[in-house]
């Protein structure tokens, strides 16, 4: 039998030795200060066991990983109509790129690039005040993880709001096409706050369980989304979850995954495990350098890639 505890401990030990650690994101001031030496890993299996190593209980800025949760929430709110305002294709461009928006009439390629996630925030905001929308997102994530301690790091939200010229450009541009419908500063306020949610690897792996378990939170038995929707969110994570590095991530790891510039990655091995890794150094595509390497090694040692024949089949 695979000793998952030993595997995650070995991976954490190997990552502690790694010399190529990438570069910390520097465009959101508080993220600059994070120690490049940090590494954490946690996974929760289908039977509820949790294995963790390294800094698995240290909260970090989940940034774009939050887009998985806001997409889930917005789909619950507006259903498949969401796809009239956001596409489902990989962008092949950077996370904050504006180039495709002009030719594609303000419809972002997918919900995981910044433009797409801003539209999703705009949908969650509809009919609410920004503080209510932010509160709803945080409560949703706490419920998924079963942990009331999850919080928004206000200093990160404020720093991003102060320097978020590109996201403001994206939002204003989409507003010109009628695809951001609430006041732009309110929509951006919701967006930066959900990006500023702080979570540990353990909390993140727990929050991702519904995507591992066909849409059900295995702890509470509560259905979060239909099985079909969980499958589709996983498909989007596989094809679009790492921006213009999504092909490379699928090639190396072969799991649905969503990265964030805080250095976290949430990866899903459907039917098997929800996995979170964190190391703040990013590669040239803005995805965690060691997080990706750690997941690559985990998949090699467990055979969990979605492209691998199941051992028990
Ligand atoms: N809040 C970040 C931004 O909008 C998210 C980017 C990311 O995590 O990839 O720039």
Instruction: Give residue-wise pLDDT tens across range 166-181.
Output: 999 999 999 999 999 9
pLDDT at 258: 98
Tell whether the model's pLDDT for residue 313 goes beyond 50: no
Nearest-CA neighbor of 68 among 255, 236, 248, 306? 236
Exposed/middle/buried for residue 47 (C-beta within 10 Å: 0-12, 13-18, 19+): exposed
Residue spans of the domains in the chain: they are 4-60+198-218+235-302, 64-197
Average model confidence (pLDDT) for the chain?
96
Is-same-fold flag (4-60+198-218+235-302; 64-197)?
yes
Nearest-CA neighbor of 140 among 126, 129, 155, 150? 150
Q: % helix / strand / coil in the chain, to the nearest 5?
A: 50, 15, 35
How many CB atoms neighbour CB 141 within 10 A? Answer: 25
User: Of these residues, 152, 184, 191, 253, which one is catalytic?
Assistant: 191
- Residue 184 near residue 171, CB atoms below 8 Å: yes
Token pair of 114 as six digits? 């910044």
Check if 210 is active-site: no
What are the pLDDT digits (tens) for 206-235? 999 999 999 999 999 999 999 999 999 999
Check if 165 is active-site: no
* Domain covering 4-60+198-218+235-302: architecture: 3-Layer(aba) Sandwich (3.40)
Check if 173 is active-site: no
- Please choose from 260, 266, 286 the residue to mutate so as to test ligand 1's pocket, defined by most ligand atoms within 8 A of CB: 260
pLDDT category, 1, cuts 50, 70, 90? low
pTM for the model? 0.97
- Distance in Å, CA 12 to ligand 1 centroid: 26
pLDDT mean over 38-48: 97
Q: Cα(80)–Cα(73) distance, rounded to whole angstroms? A: 12
- Please choose from 96, 170, 194, 242 the residue to mutate so as to test ligand 1's pocket, defined by most ligand atoms within 8 A of CB: 96
User: Of these residues, 152, 243, 259, 277, which one is catalytic?
Assistant: 243
Ligand 1 pocket member 95 (CB < 6 A):
yes
- CATH tag, 64-197: 3.40.710.10
Q: DSSP code of 213?
A: T
Token pair of 180 as six digits? 């951001």
Check if 119 is active-site: no
Q: What is the dihedral of CA 199, 204, 206, 207, to 10 degrees?
A: 90
CA-to-CA separations, 270 to 2, 167, 203, 249, in angstroms, rounded: 17, 33, 18, 16
């Amino acid at each position: 039998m695979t000793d998952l505890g030993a595997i995650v401990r070995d991976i954490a030990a190997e990552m502690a030795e790694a010399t190529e650690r990438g570069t910390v994101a520097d465009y959101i001031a508080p993220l600059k200060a994070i120690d490049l030496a940090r590494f954490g890993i946690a996974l929760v299996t289908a039977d509820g066991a949790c294995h963790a190593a390294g800094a698995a209980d240290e909260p970090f800025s989940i940034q774009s990983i939050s887009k998985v949760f806001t997409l889930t929430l917005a789909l619950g709110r507006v259903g498949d109509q969401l796809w009239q305002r956001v596409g489902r294709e990989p962008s092949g461009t950077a996370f904050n790129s504006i180039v495709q928006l002009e030719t594609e009439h303000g419809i972002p390629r997918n919900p995981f690039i910044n433009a797409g996630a801003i539209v999703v925030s705009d949908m969650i905001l509809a009919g609410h005040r920004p503080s209510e929308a932010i509160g709803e997102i945080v409560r949703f994530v706490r419920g998924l993880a079963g942990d009331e301690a999850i919080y928004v790091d206000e200093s990160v939200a404020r720093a991003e709001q102060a320097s978020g010229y590109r996201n403001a450009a994206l939002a204003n541009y989409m507003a010109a096409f009628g695809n951001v419908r609430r006041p732009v500063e309110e929509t951006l306020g919701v967006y930066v706050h959900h990006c500023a949610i702080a979570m540990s690897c353990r909390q993140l792996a727990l929050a991702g369980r519904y995507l591992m378990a066909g849409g059900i939170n295995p702890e509470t038995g509560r259905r979060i989304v239909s099985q079909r929707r969980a499958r589709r969110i996983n498909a989007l994570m596989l094809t679009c979850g790492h921006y213009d590095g999504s092909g490379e991530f699928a090639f190396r790891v072969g799991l649905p995954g969503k990265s964030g510039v805080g250095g976290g990655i949430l990866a899903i091995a459907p039917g098997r495990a929800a996995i979170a890794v964190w190391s703040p150094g990013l590669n040239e595509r803005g995805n965690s350098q060691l997080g990706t390497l750690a997941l690559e090694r985990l998949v090699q040692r467990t055979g969990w890639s979605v492209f691998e024949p199941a051992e028990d089949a």
